Amino acid sequence: MSETLRPRRSVLYMPGANERALEKAKGIPADALILDLEDAVAPDAKADARVRVCAAVQSGEYGAKELTIRINGLGTDWHEADLAAAAAAGPDGIVVPKVNTAAEVALLVDALEAAGAPPRTKLWAMLETPVAMINSADIATASARLTVLVMGTNDLAKELHAEHVPGRAPLQYGLQACLMAARLAGKVILDGVYNDIKDDEGFRAECVQGSQFGFDGKTLIHPSQVEPCNDVFAPSEDEIASSREIIAAFEEAEAEGRGVVTVNGRMIENLHVDNARRILAVADAIAALA
């Protein structure tokens, strides 16, 4: 399965210090997990959490879920030990907070290789600051080992002195700049978290907005958010049926030497066919998880 088509509709943060949460995560239908050593773990619990999450990713007990570890950021007291342990554990990805420059990406990739991280262990970079928004294209294109960009919208709002409001107008410049960078570089990009776990309507609306913008999925803070997120970020039955119809009509026209193709009154061009094939590929990748 290609990097860009591996389903990452729902990517759930789980606190690395909480053994019960790590056990519960095995049965949650998230596409991916971020086992967290950073914000969710108190300083005096970080060493024990590091051992726990590394054991979890090596356990083989999480099925088809993509497993990643979020380590503490560059310059913190725990960064080097986190990176070395995570590299040795060999998760699918190592998530690094507050990546601000291409030079930091290069430093992280060199450190992963020096620590013996297997090729399957990719770098996920969190973009959370104004400087990261400005540098997003350089960051996204800095290394082939960097495969996923993760929006850190809580920290970005804090840095901007912005409010969390419906529609996220204060954050849209940053969200769209990073989306542009991801598509330029052919990377996956994940939307940020929604903080009010009791606001089902607001959460779904933000998922819809993220999907309409073009995000590949969304990071989540509670298991209750997983299923609605999976629903929004998966192609609908109507989209799948329409995509098949577009491809069939286009291929029939090509075989007959016709230069004009219409489906349900709409002119079909190569770009529509490419998008239809992408939708079917995503649907097939999701079905393969079942």
122-127/10-15 β-pairing: unpaired
Q: Tell me: the pLDDT tens digits for 4-40? A: 579 999 999 999 999 999 999 999 999 999 999 999 9
Q: Which residues contact 25 (CB under 8 A, 6 or more apart)?
A: 12, 14, 33, 62, 65
Q: Do the Cβ atoms of 97 and 72 come closer than 8 Å?
A: yes
Average of pLDDT values for 38-62? 96
Q: Is the pLDDT of residue 192 over 50?
A: yes
Cα–Cα distance, 219 to 281 (Å, whole number):
22
pTM of the model: 0.93
Q: Tell me: the pLDDT tens digits for 133-143? A: 999 999 999 99
Residue 180 structure tokens: 């542009």
The DSSP code for 186 is T
Position 229 scores a pLDDT of 98
Q: Which residues contact 18 (CB under 8 A, 6 or more apart)?
A: 40
Mean pLDDT of the chain: 95
Q: Which residues contact 266 (CB under 8 A, 6 or more apart)?
A: 272
Residue 36 structure tokens: 């967290």
Cα–Cα distance, 77 to 79 (Å, whole number):
6
Q: Do the Cβ atoms of 121 and 151 come closer than 8 Å?
A: no
Q: Do the Cβ atoms of 286 and 9 come closer than 8 Å?
A: yes
CATH fold of 3-233 reads TIM Barrel (3.20.20)
Residue 110, by phi and psi: left (phi above 0), alpha (psi -120 to 50) or beta? alpha
Position 289 scores a pLDDT of 84
Cα–Cα distance, 62 to 159 (Å, whole number):
36
Q: Which residues contact 239 (CB under 8 A, 6 or more apart)?
A: 279
Q: Tell me: the pLDDT tens digits for 113-138? A: 999 999 999 999 999 999 999 999 99
Q: Do the Cβ atoms of 283 and 234 come closer than 8 Å?
A: yes
Domains in the chain: boundaries:
3-233, 237-289
Position 265 scores a pLDDT of 85
Cα–Cα distance, 139 to 145 (Å, whole number):
12
3-state secondary structure 41-105: CCHHHHHHHHHHHHHHHCCCCCCCCEEEEECCCCCCCCHHHHHHHHHHHCCCEEEECCCCCHHHH
93-96/146-151 β-pairing: unpaired
Q: Is the pLDDT of residue 62 over 50?
A: yes
- Could you tell me where the DSSP H helices lie in the chain? 19-24, 46-57, 79-89, 102-114, 130-134, 136-140, 153-160, 172-185, 200-213, 226-233, 237-256, 270-289
Q: Tell me: the pLDDT tens digits for 220-273? A: 999 999 999 999 999 999 999 999 999 999 888 888 888 778 888 888 888 999
Position 261 scores a pLDDT of 87
Cα–Cα distance, 35 to 15 (Å, whole number):
6
